[in-house]
Amino acid sequence: MPVRAPPPIERRAGRRATSRAYDAHVNPCAIVPAYETAGLVGEVVRGVLRRLPRAIVVDDGSRDGTAEEARAAGAEVVRHERNLGKGAAIRTGLLRAAAEGHDVAVTIDSDAQHDPDDLPAVLAPADPHALVLGVRDLAAAGAPRANRMSNAISNFFISRFAGMTLPDTQCGFRRYPVHETLALGLRGTGYEMEAEAILRARRARWPIVSVPIHVRYPAKRVTHFRIARDVPRIIGRVVLTVGRG
């Protein structure tokens, strides 16, 4: 399947002084897939820009001012005209990162559940070709029981298929090697893309590193993950990836 160029940038944010938390040679950026998170995405962007010089927000068809808030906070915004899914948004962000010469990209969710101060931990593993997975303590964070159960099921099966123990396979706080990830030929367009990335990275013999991160589950939380819809999609994509390659 040919790789399409990402949509044009709506506004380029200027570089700003940050507290460096990474090795300069990897030239990292953050990718923030966002859908209908106005009121939260600005906080995420500002937190990211305290640590990194660039945040790329991919607005996945929002109609609530997500793009405008992200721009105002200093992000570079790429917009999908309609909602295509989280995996599609991450792919668009990776294409933009590649076009701008970034070697690694950290994905961070736009709903403020992740702490940007954990960026140094996710960027710390020295191998720029590694896939780095954030590991949440869902029980300590007070995550809903359904979320803990779906994550445990995902961890069990993806760990078995990958042939290694993976303590958190659904966390969206990750570090990807940009060009290598695009070359994997990922096909998922929703949440299932993140599970597929693990299996394809494992097949390609990448180092896979897990690091602990913090997570917040406020009472009024924005989430577009639907267990009844997305868990079957994750399972289906895992089966296709393992069975067909």
Is residue 1 a part of any domain in this protein? no
Q: Which two three-digit tokens encode residue 7? A: 């949509």
Q: How many domains does the chain have?
A: 1
- DSSP letter assigned to residue 164: S
What is the percent of the chain where pLDDT is above 70? 78
Which range has the worst mean pLDDT, 12-26, 42-56, 217-231?
Answer: 12-26
Higher-pLDDT residue of 88 and 26 is 88
Q: Which two three-digit tokens encode residue 168? A: 């958190």
Residue pair 217/145 in contact by the 8 Å Cβ criterion: no
Q: Which two three-digit tokens encode residue 227? A: 């267990």
Is residue 205 a part of any domain in this protein? yes
- DSSP letter assigned to residue 231: H
Is residue 2 a part of any domain in this protein? no
- 81-95 burial string, b = 16+ CB within 10 Å, else e? eebbbbbbbbbbbbb
CATH classification at residue 206: 3.90.550.10
Q: How confident is the model at residue 217 (pLDDT cuts 50, 70, 90)?
A: confident
How does pLDDT run across 41-67, given as a tens digit for each residue?
A: 999 999 999 999 999 999 999 999 999
Measured between alpha carbons, how far is 18 from 42 in angstroms, rounded to an integer?
A: 17
Alpha helices, DSSP H, located in 129-187? 145-162, 178-183
How does pLDDT run across 64-82, given as a tens digit for each residue?
A: 999 999 999 999 999 999 9
Provide the 10 A C-beta neighbour count for residue 226.
11
pTM exceeding the 0.95 threshold for the entire prediction = no
Domain that holds residue 160: 9-244
Give yes or no for residue 224 having a pLDDT over 80: no
Which range has the worst mean pLDDT, 42-51, 107-116, 153-162, 170-179?
Answer: 153-162
Residue pair 58/105 in contact by the 8 Å Cβ criterion: no
